[in-house]
Amino acid sequence: MITTHNLGFPRIGKKRELKFALERYWKGEITELALTDIAAELNARHWQDQAVLDWIPVGDFSLYDHVLDTSFLLGNIPARAAALPGSELDRYFRVARGRSANDSACSCVHAGEMTKWFDTNYHYIVPEFDSATRFSLNATRLLEQIRQARQFHRQIKPVIIGPVTYLWLGKSKDGSDKLELLDDLLAAYAQLFQSLQQAGVEWVQIDEPVLVMELSEAWKYALRKAYFQLQASPLKLMLTTYFGQLQDNLQLACELPVAGLHLDAISAQDEVAKVIDWLPSHKILSLGVVNGRNVWKTDLTATLDWLEPVAARLQDRLWLAPSCSLLHVPVDLDSEQKLDAEIRTWLAFALQKLDEVKLLAAALNHGRESVAAQLHSNRAAIDSRSQSRRVHRDNVKARVLAIDEAMELRRSGYRQRAALQREKFQLPLFPTTTIGSFPQTQQIRKIRQAFRTGQLSERDYREAMRLEIEACVYEQEALGLDVFVHGEPERNDMVEYFGEQLDGFAFTELGWVQSYGSRCVKPPIIYGDVARPHDITVKWSRYAQSLTKKPMKGMLTGPMTMLNWSFVRDDQPRDETCLQLALAIRDEVLALEKAGIGIIQIDEAALREGLPLRKAQWNSYLDWAIRAFRVTANGVKDATQIHTHMCYSEFNDIMPAIARMDADVITIETSRSNMELLDAFDQFHYPNEIGPGVYDIHSPNIPTVESIIALMQKAAQRIPAQRLWVNPDCGLKTRTWDEVKPALKNMVAASRYLSREV
Ligand code: GLN
Ligand code: ZN
């Protein structure tokens, strides 16, 4: 018999119950007890929901982040959080977000750093280490969860992050070698295993996704050492890998002394045969055969076609699961009332994915006939998707095939273009601009909401938005900025806004996925060939330009950002979908140019996020990503100025690729790192213009004129003054006008001072 299990379940709740409970708790509206009650209810529901499988996970639930939970489990709590009085939960939220419900504003500590969980859009709290770090087990919470879960299911499997991945994810604060901590850490794990064993646990899922990364010898040795030591425990370990192929770690993964190995058979299907060859015959092989990171229905017949011979060979040694934790997909497709009926049949969210795992196991255990009806309806859905006219548009495919190199190239090089642009725009030295959005006031949100719900007619909506744009232009005149923006009041979100107006995109009502803590995102679904049926931003930009003599920047979202923040179709390579997006946005770029917009910004906030986990694959990703940008941007005339914007400061390692985008101006985040980014310019001479952000828009603080001058002077040591711009780090959407006005005023004053100096 083939066994089924799950690796992890979304914790936020179908209706984001956890989010709302957390936020109320932080505001002091509900007590700690009420919060834990809601969490317990959610847990109970999730365990019941997962009971269709043989083994269900425990300990994957978290009030904020499972990596932070692991830090607490191992007693690795930064001293700054432990110093203040309060409960364990207070300490927890202090590390998570700088303060807990009972702390006053002045007693907050700085929150733990947050970073992306491998190549997903989930952010975890980075564990902090130094050479003095010592671990001490505190398994109370986990043991309590195990106790509770048992009331719902017989076979429960605690999920913990493996010791090597835990070290890998953390940051050494004093530059000491994290691996030096391994011995002490292993002692804590050994103790943990003892407690789990005493609690009657049989299987433990131990996640070591580092096995899909490029590992140095030292890290490989750490894995060997860890598992050879931990094998002293009688617990059965399911060593779990996901998000990629094992490649050169395959043999190592197979040889580690554990009872079972989980392989992500979605991203590493071609490694299944090799793993079976290498895996000692007493070990269980768990295969992740349902994609835990995307929303498409599994092709069950196609999966069974390759899985049946594997099952025949492995028999009882085969387990089935989703490829990774279901944390990365929405909870329940059945919650979607408005989703297009046809598209809906193509999708599976977390609950539906569990059913797929169950069905596959049933087909293997009792023959395909035993689930013939379900396989039949699955087949019908898969066929409908692959043949739908709404998915496939011949003209779009033909256009992608016809992309030639000329479409990627500006007519002239940067120098010639810059001369023309200088003449056309007559900008001062150190020109000032902003990144696009201005404060999204309550008023603006109300107008959009009223329009969405039909309380406001299209005409009245447009009129209201025009007034917002006018106000925004007026403020920019008063501030004396050089290149204006219209302020983006009409946009809810930089991807959704464009997706909603393109063919090939679908949107959910409740398809929330946790991004970090209580924050969720609702990624659009790219289901079909992307086309642009009409202009998107032209009317707004043209209107804004009519209000001023200053150049008005057109504002677009780039193809990589659209791709990286959506659920992307899996029936064609990502680069193909990306080129379709590129063509659609290219058309918008050209339409803006035709409408008299001389400066166009194409945001690529998420370009870096798409980088593959293994560095060896970076170049091929960057090749097609940069090509897509060039196709988007480079059809314009020499005198039209292309800007791009990126939200991250570490781009040293991809600087040559960014230069290849050939944007006339790039604006980036830098103020937080005190222009550390500029070190990269010592090695690599960025050829075009650059605006290193001088105003940290994530903070309510207002930068002083002096601080802006100092940052820009630092920049001018590396980049000729003629090629520098002065701008904030990112859009001003989340700030208030009271903050924005003085900050921009200082920015303009700094720019004027600097241009006098030069
Ligand atoms: N133009 C967008 C804005 O200003 C850019 C947002 C971003 O980079 N995240 O809001
Ligand atoms: Zn940004």
Q: Establish whether 698 is a catalytic residue.
A: yes
Q: Token pair for residue 218?
A: 């030292």
Check residue 315 and report its DSSP letter.
G
Identity at 650, one-letter amino acid code: E
- Token pair listed for 288: 């992740």
pLDDT of residue 700: 85
How high is the pLDDT of residue 651? 78
Predicted confidence at residue 679, as pLDDT, reads 78
SS (H, E, C) 555-575: EEECHHHHHHCCEECCCCCHH
730 lines ligand 1 (CB under 6 A): yes
Please identify, by atom number, the ligand 1 atom nearest to the C-alpha of residue 434. 4
User: Phi/psi of residue 567, each to 5°?
Assistant: -85, 120
- What's the token pair of residue 486? 């219209």
Per-chain residues with Cβ under 5 A from ion ligand 2 = 605, 647, 730
Query: What is the model's pLDDT at position 498?
Result: 98
Per the model's pLDDT, the better-predicted residue between 650 and 388 turns out to be 388
Is the pLDDT assigned to residue 313 strictly greater than 80? yes
Q: 326 is written with which tokens?
A: 């279901």
Q: What percent of the chain has pLDDT over 70?
A: 99
The conformation of residue 226, written as its DSSP 8-state character, comes to H
The pLDDT of residue 628 is above 80: yes
Ligand 2 center–CA 691 separation, angstroms:
12
Q: What is the mean pLDDT of residues 678-697?
A: 88
**Ligand 1 contact, 585 CB (< 6 A):** no
Quote the tokens at residue 499: 């997706």
Strands 114-116 and 641-646: unpaired
* Residue 105: per-residue pLDDT: 61
| Amino acid letter, residue 465 | M
Would you say residue 681 has pLDDT above 80? no
Atom of ligand 1 minimally distant from the CA of 730: 8
* Among the ranges given (77-86, 162-171, 272-281, 713-722), the one the predictor scored with the smallest mean pLDDT: 77-86
Going from the Cα of 437 to the center of ligand 2, the distance in angstroms, rounded, reads: 10
Ligand closest to Cα of 733 equals 1
Question: Has residue 680 got a pLDDT over 90?
Answer: no
Least confident of 52-56, 104-108, 314-318, 444-448: 104-108
- Closest ligand 1 atom, CA of 732? 4
CA 604 – ligand 1 centroid, Å: 9
124-155 per-position pLDDT tens digit: 999 999 999 999 999 999 999 999 999 999 99
Which uninterrupted H or E stretch holds 581? helix 574-594
Alpha helices in 5-139 (DSSP H): 17-26, 32-50, 66-73, 79-83, 88-97
Q: How many residues does the chain have?
A: 758
Share of the chain above pLDDT 90, in %: 91
* Residue whose CA lies nearest to ligand 1 atom number 9: 605
Q: Which two tokens stand for residue 681?
A: 């310019």
Residue 98, pLDDT score: 85
Q: For residues 711 and 721, give the distance between their C-alpha atoms in angstroms, rounded to a whole number.
A: 13
Q: Which of 730, 735, 740 should be mutated for ligand 1, with most atoms under 8 A from CB? A: 730
CA of 644 to the centre of ligand 1 (A): 10
**Protein residue whose Cα sits closest to atom 1 of ligand 1:** 436
Average of pLDDT values for 644-658? 87
Question: In whole angstroms, what is the distance from residue 729 CA to residue 46 CA?
Answer: 40
Measured in Å, residue 554 CA sits from the centre of ligand 1 at 12
CB 415 within 8 A of CB 667: no
Q: How confident is the model over 628-648, as a mean pLDDT?
A: 96
Q: Is 556 in the pocket of ligand 1 (CB under 6 A)?
A: no
Ligand 1 atom closest to Cα of residue 647: 8
Q: Please tell me the distance between residue 353's alpha carbon and the centre of ligand 1 in angstroms.
A: 34
DSSP 242-274: -SS--GGGHHHHHHSS-SEEEEETTTTGGGHHH
Per DSSP bridges, beta strands 641-646 and 665-668 are parallel
> What is the distance between the alpha carbons of residues 203 and 206, in angstroms, rounded to a whole number?
9
- Provide the mean pLDDT of the chain: 95
| 465 pLDDT more than 70 | yes
Token representation of residue 610: 């798409």
**Rounded to the nearest whole angstrom, what is the distance from the C-alpha of residue 455 to the centroid of ligand 1?**
28
Burial of 441 (0-12, 13-18, 19+ CB in 10 A): middle
Q: How confident is the model at residue 82 (pLDDT cuts 50, 70, 90)?
A: confident
User: What's the N-to-C CA distance of the chain in angstroms?
Assistant: 78
710 pLDDT higher than 80: yes
Asked if the model's pLDDT at residue 336 lies above 70, the reply is yes
pLDDT for position 107: 61
Q: Write out the two tokens for 110.
A: 């700085």
Q: Which of 121, 433, 435 to mutate to test the pocket of ligand 1 (most atoms within 8 A of CB)?
A: 435
Residue range 341-358: average pLDDT?
Answer: 98
Atom of ligand 1 nearest to the CA of 733: 10
What sign for the dihedral angle of Cα 447, 647, 538, 475? Answer: positive
Longest alpha-carbon distance in the chain = 82
Any idea what the Cα angle at residue 373 is, between residues 370 and 375, rounded to 5°?
85
Q: Given this model, what pLDDT does residue 106 score?
A: 58
Pocket test for ligand 1, best of 121, 437, 565, 744 (most atoms within 8 A of CB): 437
557 Cβ below 6 A of ligand 1: no
Q: Which of 644, 678, 327, 353 is nearest to 514 (CA)?
A: 327
For ligand 1, say whether the CB of 602 is within 6 Å of any of its atoms.
Answer: no
Instruction: Residue 12: name the closest of 130, 122, 141 by CA.
Output: 122
**Which tens digit of pLDDT belongs to each residue from 87-130?**
899 999 999 988 877 776 656 677 888 889 999 999 999 999 99
Q: Confidence class of residue 204 from pLDDT cuts 50, 70 and 90? A: very high
Instruction: Determine if ligand 1 sits within 6 Å of the CB of residue 645.
Output: yes
CA dihedral 75, 80, 86, 87 (to 10 degrees): -20
